[in-house]
Amino acid sequence: MFKFAHIEYLYLLALIPLLVIFFFYALIQQKKMRQTFASIELFQRLSPWTSSFKQKLKFFLLTIALAFVIIGFANPQIGSRFEEVKAEAIDIFIALDVSKSMKAEDVQPNRLEAAKYAIGQLLSMVKGDRVGLSVFAGDAYVQFPLTLDYSAAKIFLDAIDVETAPVPGSALGTAIQMADKSFSDIEDESESLRPVGKNASNKVLVLITDGENTEGDAFAAATDAAKNGVIIYTIGVGSPTGSPIPEYKNGQQDFKRDNEGNVVVTKLDEESLVKLADIGHGKYYRATTGGDELVKIFEDINKLQKREIGVKQFTEYESRYQYFLFAALLLLVSEIFISEKKSNTWQKFKSLAYRNSVDKIFLEKEKAI
């Protein structure tokens, strides 16, 4: 396992390309200023020992040394001890609707982006609980299974769009069944706390959708999941009054239309989402721009019983900053001992070549005479 102890220092690496741009800009400006006073040939005669290659080499060494110093300050570390530790956790599976109706803009900037923001807020709040994510439209797909790696989860979340699930539709029932199966797949040999009552569970499904169900029986799927101890929270994204679905054709904005050319209006089906939450012994919330509903759900989740799980992780890390700082020191020392002048050997070679060419010219003239 590799990580940086102070990853915030890595932002300083953005200075490197800026320094490179400034260096070459300065070289161009210097060349222009020289040309205003004399020709390039004259300057080469006045300073025949200056090597432009060595100037660039010295700058390159300094730049790499600076990059190594920054990486050293970030303190790269390698995991040296890997073991299984016990932890108490809740398993949270999120099912996100990515059907075309989620592009409606009755929630800013649109339903899908508002939902993704809310999920990001939840990932920032959870500590030690496993989180999984599936997306669904006409079918459901696991985006990432239940995991403790929240950073990787956020990367997958950012990549989600309405094209993530290619089959059109809105299969709420399939999404619930997939989440229920995912909980079963991660059951391990460790002793878990069994659900005892309405609020005693360690498996939570958060269903984020506008509620328009066009495929399957969502209520039957919710009933089966509840029997397996899954608590279902639903978050409705959109407005009951509805909104058209934007579409872009040839760079121009239009709206989705039915076969008769009428603009399709998608409405939030709160009644169905409330019923699904009741079946799953959870609660229904309407999505807000600030994502406050996820805070309330997180507060409820923290009240649930947690089960003991075995988590394999690195418990000890060894720092490797010294290697980068030592490499930076070597580069700095090398830069000091590199002169900006051309080497004597090269100059002697050029002088010899020049004399030979002059002698050859005189010999040819003598033969001509």
Is 100 part of any domain? yes
Is 279 part of any domain? yes
Q: In this structure, which long-range contacts are made by residues 340-344, counting pairs with CB atoms below 8 Å and at least 24 apart in sequence?
A: 340/50, 340/51, 340/54, 340/55, 340/58, 341/49, 341/50, 341/51, 341/54, 342/48, 342/49, 342/50, 342/51, 342/54
Residues 203 and 256 in one domain: yes
Residues 130 and 245 in one domain: yes
Residues 91 and 220 in one domain: yes
Residues 200 and 53 in one domain: no
Is 178 part of any domain? yes
**Which tokens in the block code for residue 154?**
């956020």
CA pair distance 8, 263, nearest whole angstrom: 48
Q: Around Cβ 22, how many Cβ atoms within 10 Å?
A: 11
Q: What is the pLDDT of residue 169?
A: 78
Residues 35 and 145 in one domain: no
Is 348 part of any domain? no
Strand-by-strand arrangement of the 2-4 sheet: 2-4, 76-89, 307-319
Three-class DSSP category at 284: strand
Is 104 part of any domain? yes
**Which tokens in the block code for residue 248?**
């872009």
Helices (H), the chain: 15-37, 40-46, 52-74, 111-125, 150-158, 172-185, 218-227, 270-279, 292-301, 321-337, 344-368
Is 350 part of any domain? no
Is 355 part of any domain? no
**Which tokens in the block code for residue 359?**
């002698």
3-state SS of 18-69?
A: HHHHHHHHHHHHHHHHHHHHCCHHHHHHHCCCECHHHHHHHHHHHHHHHHHH
Residues 96 and 195 in one domain: yes
- List all residues 6 or more positions away from 48 whose beta carbon is below 8 Å from its beta carbon: 342, 347
Burial grade of 204 (CB within 10 A; 0-12, 13-18, 19 or more): buried
> Cα 277 to chain center, whole Å?
32
Residues 116 and 197 in one domain: yes
* Domain count within the chain: 2
CA pair distance 200, 208, nearest whole angstrom: 22
Contact 178, 275 (CB under 8 A): no
Residues 58 and 157 in one domain: no
Tokens 């220092």 belong to residue: 9
Alpha-carbon distance values, 247 to 240, 258, 273 (Å): 21, 13, 26
Residues 123 and 169 in one domain: yes
Domain that holds residue 265: 84-312
Contact 269, 212 (CB under 8 A): yes
Is 102 part of any domain? yes
CA pair distance 280, 187, nearest whole angstrom: 20
CATH number of the domain to which 246 belongs: 3.40.50.410
Residues 324 and 301 in one domain: no
Residues 192 and 269 in one domain: yes
Residues 110 and 67 in one domain: no
Q: What is the pTM of this model?
A: 0.60
Written as tens digits, the pLDDT of the chain (369 aa) is 677 888 889 999 999 999 999 988 988 887 777 667 656 565 555 555 566 778 888 899 999 999 999 999 999 888 666 555 565 678 899 999 998 888 888 888 889 998 898 888 888 888 878 899 999 988 899 998 888 888 889 989 999 988 888 777 778 899 999 999 888 776 543 444 344 334 446 889 999 998 876 556 899 999 999 999 899 999 999 888 888 988 877 666 788 887 888 888 888 989 999 999 999 999 999 887 666 787 788 888 877 766 655 555 555 678 888 999 999 999 999 888 887 776 555 555 555 554 555 456 556 655 665
Q: What is the pLDDT of residue 369?
A: 58
